[in-house]
Amino acid sequence: MQETILKSWQNEPWPVVKSNKPLPVGEAVIDESAFNALEIDKVFESANYASTTVGKAVLFRSLCQPLNDIKAIKAKQDAVKELAKSPSLRLQAESIVETAAANEKNLYLLFFGEFLGAFSQSRAQNEIEGYGYRQYKNGVRFFQEAASQAHGVATPKSKYLNELIDKIKSFSETREFSLMAGPVYIVEGKIKSKEEQGNSRFPIPVIFKPQIFKPFLLSGLVLLLWLISMFSPVDITPSLPAVSVFLGPLALLYFPIIGGYDRDNCIIPLRKLYKESEVIGEFLDALGRLDELLSFIKFSENFGCATVLPKFDDAKHHRVNLTAAVNPVLGKANPDYVGNDFVLDDDKLVLLTGPNSGGKTAFCKTVTQIQVLSQIGCYIPAKAAALTVADKVFYQAPEISHLDDGEGRFGTELKRTKDIFLATSAKSLVVLDELSEGTTFEEKMEASSNVLNGFYRKGNSTILITHNHQLVDQFASAGTGIPMQVEFAKEAPTYRLIPGISRVSHADRVAKKIGFSKEDIDNYLAKSK
């Protein structure tokens, strides 16, 4: 069970979008290393069309912790389809979200604001001036308006969307909503709603309403003054100047006493109750999830090329079948981006070769980023897609060794490979971007063969990026690996994936491109003489 976004904000001074983090290796679909290697931050920026802060936070959480249950993913897809196909339902959902976005700051000010004092002026977004009456009323109105709007939404057919709308609607039946509607009763330090208080009059409660002027209290003071004047043995009927002299100091005492009491004993305890409420956390999550679904649709509409909700097959091992797949980050609003087909069905191992800057890494990130987006229920950039749910998605890229690891780069990367190997199953997707291969050629071949054979026997989908074409030859001739390469035409990359093994490096072309070829070095040295 995921913690709510509100709970993840408990120790934050102000709500942050990226409050969730990937879980450790083996505990979720992706871990921190894969999260970084896959550049999920950039995927988030590309896919994010959420209107509310909580919607953005929900989307980011989804990308940190993708779903691994096929029923849950299909339920989200069904909700997206229903919103996309029903303009009236989408309009109602967007109205709820847009109203929430317009009022969201008021809610966060109530929950996270810092009280300055009665006569201070706020200068920052998280500062509350005065006694907090206005901020309280504006903050609770956020919930009241969202619940009210949800009641006007027709019952959706998809289960996931219906549950979201119902969660927002049903908030109006909760204790928290009753407290927000008021009045609130403070009885011996305990907060009670109108329903909880009932007809009880003893012990006498303090009745809180978010306003500084208390009619009953003021009437009581006037009555008290009248009684004093009536029963006093001395005629103390005051003149107007005398009244002013008497009531002036009284007014100066009234505001700080009443306002301070309401702030410290009613508003602050109530906001603590609301902020820590599981019911409110679930309400905000439902609102954020609704915003996330709308974000998926807007991502599809604004991507700039074909997008699709992938089909999911419930197979015993990981499979992937993509048609004209485009990178979710690099391909956005880029009509010239080259899409690729990719099929890994009964085969388990693809060995990808080709010169640097040919598009190998971009392609592997396309496959893995698409897998992650698929597993949050989002559209993906492709003309067609059929996948299985990956229980784990790993992407191992070369890492710089640390001075204190004691093993050097080879040992550091081998430890990561071992962690990945132990955490995978037949339903996992693994990309190995250049295996750490020791020093000598014999060591490279032996170490790499052992690792790849291990993954092959586990049965997961494995894609290896390598320049070691001898290694590719070995697995291709044994029939255990599919050799693929990035295409070059006239020594320039086409960014297409084709069958075969690349046996050239194009290193000189890259060196010339960055101005560090043999000729460039000779020129630098000649100029320095």
- pLDDT at 366 exceeding the cut of 50: yes
- Whether residues 267 and 283 share a domain: the answer is yes
User: Which of 242, 274, 302 is the C-terminal boundary of a domain?
Assistant: 302
- Segment 102-127 shows an average pLDDT of 86
Taken as a whole, the chain contains a residue count of: 529
Task: Give ∠ CA 144-145-151 in degrees, rounded to 5.
Answer: 95
* 496 C-beta neighbours (distance < 10 Å), count: 17
* 36 C-beta neighbours (distance < 10 Å), count: 15
Helix or strand (DSSP H, E) at 291: helix 278-302
Q: How far is 13 from 255, CA to CA, in rounded Å?
A: 29
- Whether residues 199 and 213 share a domain: the answer is yes
Rounded to the nearest 10 degrees, the angle between the axes of helix 87-112 and helix 278-302 is 130
| Nearest CA-CA partner of 347 in 480, 454, 455 | 480
- pLDDT at 193 exceeding the cut of 70: yes
Rounded to the nearest 10 degrees, the angle between the axes of helix 408-423 and helix 441-458 is 10
CA 381 to chain centre: 20
400 or 448: which leads in pLDDT: 448
User: Which of 252, 277, 302 is the C-terminal boundary of a domain?
Assistant: 302
Identify the weakest region by mean pLDDT among 47-56, 82-91, 294-303, 413-422.
413-422
259 or 425: which leads in pLDDT: 425
351 or 435: which leads in pLDDT: 351
- Whether residues 207 and 351 share a domain: the answer is no
- Phi and psi for 326 in degrees, rounded to 5? -120, 145
What is the reported pLDDT for 514? 75
- Whether residues 214 and 335 share a domain: the answer is no
Q: How far is 498 from 516, CA to CA, in rounded Å?
A: 30
User: pLDDT grade, residue 123 (50/70/90)?
Assistant: confident
- pLDDT at 113 exceeding the cut of 90: yes
- Calculate what percentage of the chain has a pLDDT beyond 90: 67
User: Which of 302, 317, 342 is the C-terminal boundary of a domain?
Assistant: 302
Asked if 186 and 206 count as a contact pair (C-beta separation under 8 A), the reply is: yes
Q: Is 188 exposed, middle or buried (0-12, 13-18, 19+ CB in 10 A)?
A: exposed
What is the reported pLDDT for 199? 83
Helix or strand (DSSP H, E) at 489: strand 482-489
Q: How far is 46 from 62, CA to CA, in rounded Å?
A: 14
Find the domain containing 501 and state its range. 305-528
355 or 122: which leads in pLDDT: 355
Asked if 464 and 352 count as a contact pair (C-beta separation under 8 A), the reply is: yes
- Whether residues 34 and 53 share a domain: the answer is yes
- Whether residues 365 and 385 share a domain: the answer is yes
- Whether residues 201 and 322 share a domain: the answer is no
- Segment 457-477 shows an average pLDDT of 93
Helix or strand (DSSP H, E) at 497: strand 492-499
User: pLDDT grade, residue 403 (50/70/90)?
Assistant: very low
- Whether residues 393 and 244 share a domain: the answer is no
- Show contacts of 19-22: CB within 8 Å, 24+ apart: 19/57, 19/60, 19/61, 20/57, 20/60, 20/61, 20/64, 20/65, 21/64, 22/64, 22/65
- pLDDT at 174 exceeding the cut of 90: yes
- Segment 131-137 shows an average pLDDT of 92
Helix or strand (DSSP H, E) at 462: strand 461-465
- pLDDT at 441 exceeding the cut of 50: yes
One-character DSSP codes across 46-109: HH---SSHHHHHHHHHHHHS----HHHHHHHHHHHHHHHH-HHHHHHHHHHHHHHHHHHHHHHH
| Residue type (1 letter), 275 | K
What is the reported pLDDT for 218? 45
Query: The domain spanning residue 508 has which CATH number?
Result: 3.40.50.300
Q: Which residues contact 141 (CB under 8 A, 6 or more apart)?
A: 103, 106
- pLDDT at 195 exceeding the cut of 80: yes
- Whether residues 30 and 105 share a domain: the answer is yes
- Whether residues 374 and 386 share a domain: the answer is yes
- pLDDT at 529 exceeding the cut of 80: no
What is the reported pLDDT for 188? 87
- Segment 310-334 shows an average pLDDT of 96
- pLDDT at 100 exceeding the cut of 50: yes
Check whether the bond before 183 is cis (ω within 30° of 0): yes
Asked if 22 and 35 count as a contact pair (C-beta separation under 8 A), the reply is: yes
Identify the weakest region by mean pLDDT among 113-122, 140-149, 507-516.
507-516
Tell me the pLDDT tens digit for each residue of 233-274: 655 555 545 555 555 565 666 677 888 888 999 999 999 999
Asked if 166 and 283 count as a contact pair (C-beta separation under 8 A), the reply is: no
Rg (CA), the chain: 32
- Segment 80-100 shows an average pLDDT of 97
Total domains present in the chain: 2
- Whether residues 317 and 248 share a domain: the answer is no
**Strand ranges of the sheet holding 492-499, from the earlier edge strand across to the other edge:** 393-396, 429-433, 461-465, 349-353, 482-489, 492-499
- Whether residues 221 and 348 share a domain: the answer is no
Express the helix, strand and coil content of the chain in percent, nearest 5 each. 50, 15, 35
